[in-house]
Structure 1
Amino acid sequence: MATTDDTASGTHWVLTLSCPDRPGIVHAVAGLLAEHGGNITESQQFGDALSGLFFMRVQVTSAASRAELEGPLTELAQRFSMDWELDVSGRPVRTLVLGSTAAHCLNDLAFRQRSEKLPIEIVAVVSNHTVLAELAAFYGIDFHHVPVTAATKPAAEARLLELVEELDVELVVLARYMQILSPDLCARLAGRAINIHHSFLPSFKGARPYAQAHDRGVKLIGATAHYVTGDLDEGPIIEQDVERVDHTRTVEDLVALGQDVERRALARAVRWHAEHRVLLDGHRTIVFR
């Protein structure tokens, strides 16, 4: 995929949009792109009967510049009361990873960025501990130690927002960051912060979820990747994954299996977000895989 605006065949764009559902939306979007020399290579759409909203994701190759597309798209958006976003397909999304002491999710994201073309650029790691500093250094990622206590939490969150601004961060990933973000910070990061929760939400919230699961004799353990909101562990769900277990498994077994599930679910959620495949529909998400 192209990552710049200057390619021989044109730019590979990705357009996402949502608006009240009505006839003619697909025709209007496709027509606009065709008028600007666009060749649609992928198109997905969904009309939600519950919310009355229409969602669409289009990948298109066009020699038109961003300015040449943005003007007509703005006019189209006014006609259909449309929210929309246009980006270069495959452009690495500038990402800040938050972690505490568990390394598996950070390591997985950094490895996939390097070896599997996960379309993110991890610009820094922020942690309330120093355990992850060596791992960040191994991948050549800047590490910032920002301790958090009840007394210093406001200052720590202010520093986090400073880094978001200074580093031009587009996505924040809570990779087993064992701190609860304040409602104000959640609001500031709305729609651009993803958390991995170590259980199959909405079950087993709070502390020691694997011990809770073991006590209940579960046959499936899971993990949930979701957007961060002010309601703890209740943000819009992007992806979930599970692993089958039985009565022979110990709590330690569940933790080890759970970490594998966590990294898989988080990696998929981050990829889909970076590829503009996730659109918010109230408390739910529309995921165009």
Structure 2
Amino acid sequence: MISPNKKIEPSWAVPRSIMAFCSTRVGGISKPPFDDLNLGLNAGDDPADVMHNRALLRSTLPSEPIWLKQIHGVRVSTPALRISCSDGPFEADASVTNIPNEVLAVLTADCMPVLFASKRGDVIGAAHAGWRGLSGGVLERTIEAMCTLSPDLNPQDISAWMGPAIGPTAFEVGDDVLEAFSGKGQSAVSQAFTPIIGRPGKYLANLYILAQDCLSSLGITQITGGGFCTFTDQERFFSYRRDKATGRFASLIWISSDV
């Protein structure tokens, strides 16, 4: 079982029925460089160790998490799509549900996990949002899917939590990333990209600013989280940018039927 001091719980105003947390790298059995609680089966770790770690995680949950085959895209897994495609991990980078005790999960190791919950606590979502997903519209697609599940739901009645991602002092990018967001027309591009002096075409990018700007443009005002850095916080987080060979931690959310 994962003890409370080995996970991060969102600080947000949501109904008591909404349960959510982010695991850290602490508490599992994986060996270096995947130590310890690696939950990613495609990271190069021993699959038996990963499954043991997933069993530790499962002991804290009401059901097996809905693991996605993440491809840095914008597809959203919905209850209806999962019924029609039940063989193996669903290829998507976000998921939504209105079914109690159905656990949504995204795996990350620098990309940003974003969790969503409606004010009534009847619809939730989870998105894997690296720069490709963010610029491609994964957050917009997740909100759209939530509103489809609850037709009278408005974006302003949704809370969002931005989980641990690579921070703005560590995320070095090139012109291609800047152009992806400039082409999207985001108003916060000038704030989110800081040119690196002496290195033309290189910038430090702030995923948190980009995500918050996107969510605000959709009408969402209840946005919390941010302030983490997977790259610099080596004790708690895996970071692909820092280590290349590394594990993945999970961000999870569900609607509890026990509250």
What TM-score do you get using the length of structure 2 for normalisation? Answer: 0.30
Q: Higher helix fraction: Structure 1 or Structure 2?
A: 1
Q: Higher strand fraction: Structure 1 or Structure 2?
A: 1
Q: Which has the higher contact order (CA 8 A, sep 6+)?
A: 2
Greater radius of gyration (CA):
1
